[in-house]
Amino acid sequence: MGDLNKQKAIQIGGIPVDLYEGQEYESLVSSAIEKNQKKTFFHINAHLVVLANTKFPWLKNKFTKNVDFVMCDGAGIQLAAFILGKSVPKKIAYNIWFWDFAKFCADKGYRIFFLGAKKEVVEKAASKMRDHAPELQIETQHGYFNQNKDAAENKDVIDLINSYSPQILLVGLGMPQQESWILKNMDRLNVNAFFPCGGAFDFFAGNKSVAPSWLRKMKLEWLYRMAREPIRLGKRYLLENPQFIYYALRDR
């Protein structure tokens, strides 16, 4: 399975990226739970690299110093690594990988909490996961609350999560709000493994579809998503992709 003690092996656009594979992340989560540790499993894609190099430069520092594991969640990261002659990380896409991870958690008896999205979306996402892995223990909370660290609503959400005592927490509040929320509140949460997950709940719920495998193999999932959501994603991909290439290759 590889050396689970290895350090982050590559950097893309100033952000470290780990080279673990799906089953290795399962082992890392199990280790955190068995040792009752708190570990952060964040993910990187082209969008995050652009954000970290433009609007939110603090992300670079946090990902380097405060995040335990960084998962590759984009073909752009793989392409940049290849062009730079670095080891190419495996893509750990939540909308595909998490279904196997859910079964792993069900077999282990781990409890999961979904935080984010609209109430009907996150509840449907959890329901689909239960259908997929009937023994899975999972609870939810929508993401429409005052996320200020000292706000009463935020404290209520933390209390709700702690009352369920999940070992694993997925936070889908969008970048970089979800990363910021986890890092600001994790000390108060009785959770072992923290995962920001972007819009994954919409995919889990079936509201959004995954690109066909042949497009994913060609590294063109972004084109499929843009075609389905041109207004929301058109600007991101058409404007940010050139920026990403610049920031990814700048350090060469």
Smallest Cα–Cα separation from 89: which of 168, 179, 16, 186?
Answer: 16
**What's the whole-model pTM score?**
0.93
Q: So what's the pLDDT on residue 218? A: 73
Three-class HEC string of 64-110? HHCCCEEEECCHHHHHHHHHCCCCCCCCCCHHHHHHHHHHHHHHHCC
Please name the CATH architecture into which domain 95-210 falls.
3-Layer(aba) Sandwich (3.40)
Report pLDDT for 135.
97
Q: Are 222 and 208 spatial neighbours (Cβ–Cβ below 8 Å)?
A: no
Of 10-19, 170-179, 194-203, 207-216, least confident by mean pLDDT is 207-216
Residues 6+ apart with CB under 8 A from 153: 145, 146
Segments making up each domain of the chain, as ranges = 1-92, 95-210
Least confident range of 7-11, 181-185, 205-209, 211-215: 211-215
Mean pLDDT of 101-128: 98
The secondary element (H helix, E strand) that includes residue 170 is: strand 168-172
Distance of CA 247 to the CA centre of its chain: 21
